[in-house]
Chains A and B, each alone.
Chain A
Amino acid sequence: MPKIKLPRSSPSIDMTPMVDLAFLLVTFFMLTTKFRPEEAVTVTIPASVSTTKLPDNVITVSIDSGGRVFYDMESKDVRMELFKDMAGRYKVTISTEDEQRFSICGAFGQPMANMVKYVEAGEADRKPMNQASGGIPIDSAKGDELADWVNLSILADATIQANKIAAGQKDAKRAAFAIKADKNAKYKVVKQVIDICQKQGVSHFELITTVSSRPKT
């Protein structure tokens, strides 16, 4: 009887397609990942059953459990414009580098008097500054700086979006206001922030929440 010869297959397999795919995925994740600067303030957000997603162009007002107010927005162009305008209003001299630094500094909660020092500080030095700060002043007696931030953000955003539309960009959309408040923040403070924004003409707010499952009714 003749022996049946099994066809010898090489023990090494061609891994090229797998490697190709792996690198394709690496490229995809590298391009889609957006690195955020470290959160300036810790906020534990409450849960809700809402499934509405946060819109794209948002200005976020964060309120921590101690009632400190922090301010943040995504668009770099608007941030640069805003910082220039704020410096003008508060008669603070800033350089173009300061504007650049401000455009990538994430959420901030300093009175305007400290802002230049804050943006010029390194990442490591900002942390203790954030911890020591009392947030953006919202008390009308001590100078309501939040109102100016909101007011000038709306103007800066309008300018930038109008420029985008003029340049033919279709995705230009006015900024929405989001409130990211801590569970244990007093509603009184949240209301004060809402009132300040309302006075500047903001009528709709997005309250940021985490998802919880909908109970049966």
Chain B
Amino acid sequence: MADVDSGGGSGGGHGKHQKKRAKKLSTKLDMTPMVDLGFLLLTFFMLTTTFNKPKVIGLTPPVKDTSHVKVDTTSLTVILSGNNKVYYYQGLLAESSDKNNINITDFSAKGIRQVILGKNVFVSDLIKDAKAKHDAGKISDSIYDRVKDSAEGKKKALFVIIKTDSVAKYVNVVSMLDEMDICNVGKYSLIDATKGEIDMIRDYNQKNNIK
């Protein structure tokens, strides 16, 4: 058919009367390209697939009625403000500015965390044994959680009121909720700062030259 008489090539037919034989095709197929493609796809899908879902912090904000927020001398009020500043005071807010009981700190490991841990000794003492056992892998997560929840719910456990002013950033609120988890505080509430508190912060900033 497409044979050109090349004049004595090894593959050419010599005798014109020789029977034409069907070329024997190998039954083996070269699968290399298919396998290459298969692995290419495999690599692609392995790299693009993400299995882990994002993590979440559950939040059930209080309804408009905030009467459940009962401030007493043991509760800690934390006010989040701009520039990652954290103001806090224990118990009730001072009536007049000369008795201002506001302090300032930040979100570093030595900041608000130490303040909360220092005031939450009651809970950390209660769960000390369970925590040691849990860290050593002797008790399961669920048992530890039960011990922790019961300690955090006790009447003498610390109650934290997280307040925000109009310039606070979302990351500050999330960090604060995170601190609640880290410091084993089970009782907390998230509400707006009052005018009295904002005035007191301004007063504190003026006295201490904080911008």
Query: Which residues of A are in contact with B by a Cβ distance under 8 Å?
Result: 15, 19, 22-23, 25-26, 29-30, 32-33, 45-46, 48-54, 63, 178, 181-188, 190-191, 194, 198, 203-211, 214-215, 217
Contacts and interface: CB of A to CB of B under 8 A. Distances in A.
A30 B43 CA distance: 11
The 4 A-B residue pairs with the shortest CB-CB distance in the complex, in nearest-first order: A29-B45, A206-B56, A183-B171, A46-B174
A190 B190 CA distance: 13
Contacts of A191: 164, 192
Contact of B61 (A53, A54, A198, A217): A198
A207 B57 contact: yes
26 contacts: A19-B35, A29-B42, A33-B49, A48-B55, A49-B178, A49-B181, A50-B56, A50-B181, A53-B56, A178-B56, A183-B169, A183-B171, A184-B170, A186-B166, A186-B167, A186-B169, A187-B80, A187-B172, A188-B168, A204-B59, A205-B58, A205-B59, A207-B57, A207-B58, A207-B59, A209-B55
Contacts of B55: 48, 50-54, 208-211
Contacts of B46: 25, 29
Contact of B60 (A32, A178, A181, A204): A204
Given A19-B35, A22-B38, A46 B60 contact: no
A181 B171 CA distance: 9
A50 B55 CA distance: 7
A63 B182 contact: no
B174 A209 contact: yes
Contacts of B166: 186, 188
B168 A187 contact: yes
Nearest to A184: B169
Nearest to B35: A19
Nearest to B191: A191
B56 A54 contact: yes
Pick from B58, B109, B117, B168 the residue with the most CB of A within 10 Å: B58
Contacts of A182: 170
Q: Which bracket fits the contact residues of B?
A: 35 or more
B35 A207 contact: no
Given A49-B182, A204-B58, A207-B57, A181 B39 contact: no
A30 B45 contact: yes
Interface in B153-192: 164, 166-175, 177-178, 181-184, 192
Contact of A63 (B124, B167, B170): B170
Nearest to B49: A33
B53 A53 contact: yes
Nearest to A55: B56
A217 B174 CA distance: 19
Contacts of B54: 45, 54, 208-210
A207 B61 contact: no
B178 A48 contact: yes
Given A15-B35, A49-B178, A186 B170 contact: yes
Given A50-B56, A198-B61, A209-B56, A183 B45 contact: no
